[in-house]
Structure 1
Amino acid sequence: MYMESVITVGALARQVSTLLGEYFSRVWVKGEISNFTRAASGHWYFTIKDDQAAVKAVMFRGRASMVSFTPVVGEKVELLAAASLYEPRGDFQLQVEAMRRAGVGNLHEAFLQRKQKLQDEGLFDPERKKAIPSMPRKLGVITSLGAAALRDVLTAVERRLPHVEVIIYPALVQGDAAAASLCKALETAVQRNEVDTLLLVRGGGSLEDLWCFNDEALARLIAAAPIPIISGVGHETDFTIADFVADLRAPTPTAAAELAGHSQAQCLQQLQGLLSALQHRQGRILERAWLRLDRTRAGLISPEQKLRQQQQRLEALQHRLQQRVHTQLEAHRWRITKLHKQLQQATPEVEWQQRLLATLENRLVQHMPAELKRQQQRVTALQQTLQALSPMHVLERGYAIVRNEAGQIVKNALDLSNKEQLDIQLAQGSLQAEVKQTRVLF
């Protein structure tokens, strides 16, 4: 009889939990919030539902603290979650890792595509970013007149840079018309060209709230602006296209104002340091000048002593000159003596040379006829040898020289073919013949 295997409820729950973890470890789920509860521990417990189903969800405090809004019942959201099973009760639930308002996913995808496009064009390259002046005279602020970010910036400027004038270029920072308004404010600031640095600021918000700072036209205006621009949009975790293309990104509007230049205290401290260094350097210069003056005074001598030194130097030079003249005269005398001896040795003995020449001439005259006769006999012998070896001399004895059509001398009858033309040279003249038959003598 076949026995089916039986497992415990706990084993079944563990297997189901394992399967859920394997197949639904990270999945985006869209639905409506209901039964939302924030526990004292900071964890969020709620239900995500739609028209067809409802699933319990939990978002632990660490993850929940990273969400930029607090969800309310009835709000549609998108969750990045892992499906799991709470084994003690057998409840199916979602462990949420991230949450965003519904529709933000499309905006985020559009943000990534636009960011990649502008990055490929080089608008984010560090090489094209301008340096921020450390001591500006005027700061420009592009934001809404009623924004809390403006108050934060003005407070920071008053505290750190009270000597710097602030010019505000009003613009909308949220809504459908915000992007065009920001572009117009930036164009106005560039056209007026009255500030050293521009601050583009806004407080925190959702991705939809900050969407105007992701506008492509605004990004291109920021990149082309000749004035250095600091962006301070949202909180530290918020990033927009304007942050990437600006010359400097600040995590908050207040930080943007703080990065716009050295504070007054820093400037005074730096100035005091420069004054101290200047005083120290001046003291060192004076010390070196006094030292040179003392050394110069110590080196001064009276005119009488100077003349005495010059007289001693002149006498020494005269003595050296006399010694040198004497040395050169001795050297010239020795050279003249040497040349005189060489001249005497090189003088020829004319009479002896004439007697030797007469003797050689007599010997030449005596030997010339005999040598001439010997050379004539040698020429005659060579002529006879040449005549004996001449081919023409052989031809005189009845022989002939046979050449083929190529002008080569024929030595073997087998090298010829019938009807081949031959050139035959005799002792007296030549003739042409044609081969009719060849024979070989063995």
Structure 2
Amino acid sequence: MNDILSLVELNNLIKLALRECFPDSYWVRAELSEVRTSGPGHCYVEFVEKDSRSGNIIAKMRGNIWANTFRVIKPYFEEETGQPFTSGIKVMVKVNVDFHEVYGPSLTVLDIDPSYTVGDMMRQRLEIIKRLKEEGIFENNKALELPDVTQRIAVISSATAAGFGDFTDQLLKNSHGFVFYPKLFPALMQGAQSEASILSAFSKIEKYREHFDAVVIIRGGGAVSELGCFDSYAIAKRAAEFSLPVITGIGHDRDESVLDMVAHTRMKTPTAVAEFLLSRMEEQEDDLLSAQDFILNKASQRILNETYRLQNLSHYLSLSTSRHLQNEHLKLNRFESQLPLFTQNVLTLQQKHLPELEQQIALAINRRIEKEQQKLHLAEQIIRLSSPETILKKGYSITLKEGKAVRSSGELTVGDALTTLLADGEITSIVSEKS
């Protein structure tokens, strides 16, 4: 039992062993997947190495650049390479191998070779960005119109991510009482399967796109090395060409992924996305309240103006009516006073016309008498020409039987006594034969 060690004793032995095994400094090639600085000026990095075929990380180690070293190598590196000392670049650094009893193994950076510049991760990002721009789709999603009221939200996130919980809590429990309808489409947000998972979520959303206003992609932070899927060409292309605006809140404020670049709107964190959506609702509420106040003010002013106008109109109508009645009374009085004279004038005028009218009546009566006399004379001539005497004088005769004119032989029988009237006398005869 004398060989039992405490954890700190074991870690101290490991520390001594590493110093004995790695007494010198070493030049190491690696990719920076994370770079962050502290208040005192120290820089903490994460070195990674990836498999050249699969792209998977096959080695990872913490690195420290103490302030006195970082103040020298950072400006030197950036001046020589023309790019910032940040994640995504491949570097060659001179390091010591260290071990800390609490934080474990790490590499302490002593120097850097600026000639070993852009790493695979950055080069791939630049190639993807260039390809998207050449295809003409880099700005497509940004050109879509984000609805002023963005309530129906399709969310791509891990169901268990703290960022998703923070996002939904902030939306659904907002102090304004705004209503949102977030719908989760679960996806893996890191690891080898994340790309296929996120693309699958996009495809599911596309089937129901008419039910959503926008797509939100959120993740609750993490190391840069775990955010590689957001630099995927396939995901960036899908987002750029998607039919709904895409909003990202991947939760890493030190780096901008390709997905962030092509998205309609990029926010730093899931809660920042929620704040963005809430702020848009607040702007709409403010606009509506302003419009309401404007309408109420305008309506009140209009009612007041119309009230004044009606009062003025009522007063005007009262005065106008009174004046009109007065004028009409004056007209009636004048007419009443002028009526006897007018009547007398009419009578006088008509009396002047009476002789002329009497003459016209007499002429009309004479003309009518002459016309009727002409009619009588014509009738007399017609009667005279149609009389039996006139007819007999023309050589005709009239045969009478018992004083009645015989019109047909059928009226006669043998032995009938007939009288024949001639112009100058009568002849009596007996019917002796009838044929």
Tell me the TM-score normalized by structure 2. 0.48
Question: Which of structures 1 and 2 has the bigger CA Rg?
Answer: 2
Tell me the TM-score normalized by structure 1. 0.48
Highest RCO, 1 vs 2 (Cα 8 Å, sep ≥ 6): 2
